[in-house]
Amino acid sequence: MRFGARLADAVRRRGPLCVGIDPHPELLAAWGLPADVTGLDRFTATCVEAFGDQVAVVKPQSAFFEAYGAQGVAVLERVMDGCARRGALVVLDAKRGDIGSTMAAYARAYLADGSPLAVDAVTLSPYLGFGALQPALELAASTGRGVFVLARTSNKEGGDVQAALVGGRSVAQLVVDAAAGHNAGAQPYGDVGVVVGATHTGTDLDLSELNGPVLAPGLGAQGATAQQLRGAFGAGLHGVVPVSARDVLAYGPDPGALRDRIATVQHGLGGIGTP
């Protein structure tokens, strides 16, 4: 079953919310945990227990695990396996992008059957050229996985590059258009999504031909609201997967409090994401 179809099914069953698993040192301290592998393991085990069977998508941030070396990556593997066993799709936020054999190696790491780091989808950076991502696009298509390509990110620095015009179209729009070319004809939508920050209210991106999912980080702590999502994405709303991390994780370490917070956020997202 293709990623786009699996994502649509998960959103129908569990709602559109994606919860980011971002175990940065400040959050570990707020949960009363040490900023070491032990604290990382306890933090993420609580996340898996609390919402692995509640949300459609989880998004671990790879950097916060890589910072602890091999032991941290081992924790990441346990997080991905635990969430998958509970029915959540796993989107690894790795933002990989390279050329040739290096891009092919990244693709095998995250998208090949049998890889210890294989996930349902991975975030990719297209800024060495969208065509350089072809090894990942091809492997994802052959293994039923997906990718989310950075288009218009939520950080202010991104605008210098992403809003720049090339032939009358923004760089971000060129990314969206390239992704759309891979999704043509797919039902309910394709496997090549884009990342568009939820804080970009009134974005001038045309998503009408994308026919793919939109990963929209920034809900909650970064200031975006469900109402802003509805205003920003309009016709593309059916494929939008809002991401919240700090606004949910601040309610830990009690699993019950985390689940209650997720239920509250999901309620406010009524009508978003369903194809």
Which positions are annotated as active-site residues? 95
Which SS3 state, helix, strand or coil, does residue 120 take?
A: coil
Q: Mark out the alpha helices in the chain (DSSP H runs).
A: 3-14, 25-30, 37-51, 62-66, 69-85, 100-111, 134-143, 159-162, 171-183, 226-233, 246-249, 255-268
Measure the CA–CA gap between 214 and 238, rounded to whole angstroms: 9
Which residues make Cβ contacts (< 8 Å) with residue 167, sequence separation at least 6?
Answer: none
Residue type, 138: E
Closest CA to 189 of 2, 15, 19: 2
DSSP letter at 237? Answer: G
Question: Do residues 68 and 36 make contact, with C-beta atoms less than 8 angstroms apart?
Answer: yes
| Residue for token pair 């040739």 | 100
